[in-house]
Structure 1
């Protein structure tokens, strides 16, 4: 029983001293401290990683994390702009329906709606909710406004050309941002895995070389759990 309790305590202590930060910012901070200490500690060696190479990886990891945060921070603004524009589109569609009714009479107006890019939704007609489908529908809207001589209307050809330009620009920006974020996340995750692998290895070497004072030594390398 005593041996079992001792082993359990050792496992608990090991987990407490070996745990790395969970947040990427804290991980970068700890990795940076450990990297600087390693560069000044030539006695510590790993066969598969050199101190200068690790310093390069840590710097790249921190840069990638910062870049990912900056890029991702613009996405909510794009989303908000798209939401507002979609609301404007839906409000403006009512005027176009009235133009169609006025020109083609109420009895036949609905047969013209599809040519303006509208689709059936419940008991009414709307422009498609899917973003790419909506872009195509806006093109149909512009063409139909020309064909039905709505050029001079307030919500005619000119208005919808401007809406489509704004809509497509936001759509392209959103797609580009999402793509960039995805690439940065992929790069970040690879670097994160490599950084954690090295840090765990450093912890192991330090504990082996300082069996009695490794806790103090780990703190000098930047492994200070109370800060993360």
Structure 2
């Protein structure tokens, strides 16, 4: 048990896709605040683990707790503590980036409109705010998803390949935010990336 005020706990977490072996097998780990880089070869279940922690997949066995909230027993309270940006296109593609953030902001108590505007500028999203996400490029969709997730200001942020499809200026902007999180004591960014993050994370977990 860490003395940090932040804690994400997995205990004996297990999951298998239909007809396959367990991708995640009795995974137990305590995460403290900061930036943790989750690394491993293909097939080690990195993205699956993020989906389990996000509540996008239901564990077949085990416990997940975030800030004292249990995923299975208190699913709504648990999910309000986290934001997740996966490798897939963001949900609600019929909405514009601005509309999507406004919708999400109504669900997350810490959502901050000023932070949203700062991230819009940081990722160069101003020209695309009124266009449906479905009409935007993969890279612009990804930047819009990142800007929204960051502005929700949740204690836990799950990022799957966050550097993919980003232009150089957006990579620099995101890396600057990552560096700040390495010193945080009240939040965790858990990142899956095949690319080197370009910085020293608070912790690295090899699978």
State whether TM-score is above 0.5: no
State the TM-score, normalizing by the size of structure 2: 0.24
Q: If each structure's helix is expressed as a fraction of its own residues, which one has the higher value?
A: 1
Bigger Rg, structure 1 or 2? 1
| TM-score with structure 1 setting the length | 0.23
